[in-house]
Structure 1
Amino acid sequence: MTTLSRIRIGSAPDSWGVWFPEDPRQVPWRRFLDEVAESGYEWIELGPYGYLPTDPAVLREETARRGLKVSAGTVFTGLHHGPAVWEKTWAHVADNAALAQAMGAEHLVVIPSFWRDDKTGEVLEDRVLTPAQWRELTTQTERLAHEVRERYGLRVVVHPHADTHIDSEANVTRFLDATDPDLVSLCLDTGHYAYCGGDSVKLIETYGERIGYLHLKQVDPAVLAEVRADEVPFGPAVARGVMCEPPVGVPALEPVLAAAQGLGVELFAIVEQDMYPCDPDKPLPIARRTRSFLRSCGA
């Protein structure tokens, strides 16, 4: 077994069924912090802004007494719409980046906006960007990455995601080829990339210098086949159980982690098993088993 000495394992509110700052179907934030620590994780992400306390002093106290540290914040953006959305985008980004910085994090995960509503399935815009929209997406992402680095000292890692315009291998590589490697890195989510037909190991081997962060996730191939056949939006697909507990899904995580270790750089690998909404008693046993599985992989 390879010791994954460069991989720092963590988890996130997502693995506890948390998608929104407030939702009666989600576990309370104190329970999330208690259970993620109990599961054996040391690192967490902030999740949706406002779910965890946004006062850094409060959050530092709450995380420190549970032995937890923060790896990243997360923001949603629609940068392909160009300068018209910059101010609104920046207001959202600044709040998240300031809290992440105050908590000692080094990364900001940037997720593109959905082309169809993740709850209702309503089509919000064309699923294919025009060349002009691609230019806006790449140039505005570079601008965002520059501003976030200069003002908050954080590195932007862009997260390819189902039902967004950065999803498949073709779109991910197009995005990488059109952006400055010094500014823009990738948060490779193994589950989302498999959901969209991509090969995570191949991406790491081909674009290794652009991999700045990992989300560890698996998809259930049988459910995925149904979801694709029925053209089910991402939210309902999650409710069907398309994202599953490792190691029963794809991709196999051992070769992904080995390829990441081979890059020779320190990388966070944050477990994210989408399962909104879920029974509040469901996440903890899964988290314990997942942490144990990752230890068996050397992480």
Structure 2
Amino acid sequence: MITIGSAPDSWGVWFADDPEQIDPGRFLDEVAEAGYTWIELGPVGYLPTDAQELQDQLDAHGLKVSAGTVFEHLHQPDSWDDVWQQVSTVGALTQAVGGEHIVVIPDVWRDHKTGEPKEPRELTVEQWKLMTDGMNELGKRIADEYGLKVQFHSHADSHVGYQVDIERFLAATDPAYVNLCLDTGHVAYYGGDSLDLINRFPERIGYLHLKQVDPAIRDTVLAQDLSFPEAVRRGVMIEPPAGEPDLGPILDAVGHLGRPLYGIVEQDLYPCPPDVPLPIAQRTFTYLKNCVA
């Protein structure tokens, strides 16, 4: 019931174009070499945005697409047009190459490159309502116009990171249009419990990002209030099974939900030397295939 895949993030890709990132051609070569047949598109513009060119490259590598990614800042007034402009590119491209989902990630309150604060770390009541109402509308329009399912991804350094935030978000959004991309690493980053979320909100689990955190690094990062980019540079996201949470019980619980789900490996590695990702990806693929066998 679980289809395992990977993402550009596991090759250190956070941006459409960045000199510290691996070439997209090499990513496609290596993700296929590692054994994966399913991928996410990653940041828009990293892989080709022309549907035929992208499909040709996917076909050449024996790859298929599970989802595209959009970043939202709907808690800010007058943000709709900017978010929808992303959707108009990502949704059309994802639909054209056979993807089923759009993973929506909230913008971070600290700069994703420098770690410097951009806005307050807490939303007001009014901003929460703007965000959740906006997500309901986004999910409905994406379903209506592109036939894709929206999966919301809680994220470190965003306004929806702690488990209490995730639960508040789920209570305020419509399961007909918005569900949860359960990222096991980002939940564990703030001490949350992915297994608890699966057991208490089984109908809201629409997609998985599979990763683990190094608890010692995580604890230091939180104690010193370091940014997520700094945490990643220190190695907070670690290949399984070396970190937390234990993915075996999580995959088992998800497997009993009775419906097919994607489990996409998304180990944050930005920035990393170009020879680092492939061996990790190969070991992780073998580990996860054994977990779901």
Q: What TM-score do you get using the length of structure 1 for normalisation?
A: 0.96
Q: Which residue of structure 2 aligns with residue 15 of structure 1?
A: 10
Q: Counterpart of 2:176? A: 182
2:87 is the counterpart of 1:93 = yes
Question: Is residue 45 of structure 1 aligned with residue 40 of structure 2?
Answer: yes
Residue 280 (1) aligns with residue 274 (2):
yes
The equivalences for 1:147-226 within 5 A come to 147-226=141-220
Task: Give the Å deviation of 1:133.
Answer: 0.8
Contact 1:185-1:211 at 8 Å conserved across structures? yes
Q: CA RMSD in A?
A: 0.8
Give, in angstroms, the shift of residue 121 of structure 1.
2.4
State the SS of the aligned residue for 1:81. Answer: coil
Q: CA deviation at 1:124?
A: 1.5
* d(CA) in 1 for partners of 2:163, 2:10: 25
Structure 1 counterpart SS, 2:111: coil
Q: Which residue of 1 aligns with 2:96?
A: 102
Q: Where do 5+ consecutive residues of structure 1 fail to align?
A: 1-5
1:129 is matched with which residue?
123
Shift in Å, 1:298: 2.4
CA distance in 1, matches of 2:192, 2:50: 39
Structure 2 counterpart SS, 1:140: helix
From 219, 225, 238, the equivalent of 1:231 is: 225
Counterpart of 1:58 in 2: which secondary structure?
helix
1:27 deviation in Å? 1.0
* 1:3 alignment partner in structure 2: none
Distance, in Å, in 2 between the alignment partners of 1:291 and 1:121 is 31
Preserved CA contact (<8 Å) 1:119 1:236: no
CA distance in 2 between partners of 1:298 and 1:70 (Å):
20
* Structure 1 counterpart of 2:82, one-letter code: K
2: CA distance, partners of 1:295 / 1:93:
32
Deviation at 1:245, TM superposition (A): 0.7
Q: Give the Å deviation of 1:230.
A: 1.2
The answer on 1:80 being equivalent to 2:80 is: no
Asked whether the 8 Å contact 1:119–1:233 carries over to 2, the reply is no
1:269 deviation in Å? Answer: 0.2
User: Following TM superposition, by how much is the alpha carbon of 1:129 offset from its aligned partner in structure 2, in angstroms?
Assistant: 1.1
- Report if the CA contact (8 A) 2:6-2:265 is conserved: yes
Secondary structure at 1:111 match in 2:
strand
Give SS of 1:80's match: coil
* Alpha-carbon distance in structure 1 between the residues aligned to 2:120 and 2:244: 29
User: 1:118, CA displacement in angstroms?
Assistant: 2.4
Could you tell me whether the CA contact under 8 Å between 1:118 and 1:236 is conserved in 2? Answer: no
Report how many aligned residue pairs link the two structures: 293
Give the SS at the match of 1:98: helix
Matched residue SS, 1:9 = strand
SS of aligned partner of 1:65: helix
Is this contact kept in 1: 2:251–2:292, CA < 8 A?
Answer: no
Partner residue, 1:64:
59
Distance 1:243 1:8 in 2: 22
Alpha-carbon displacement from aligned partner over 1:111-153 (angstroms, at most 9, x marks no partner): 0111111232222111111111111111000011111111111
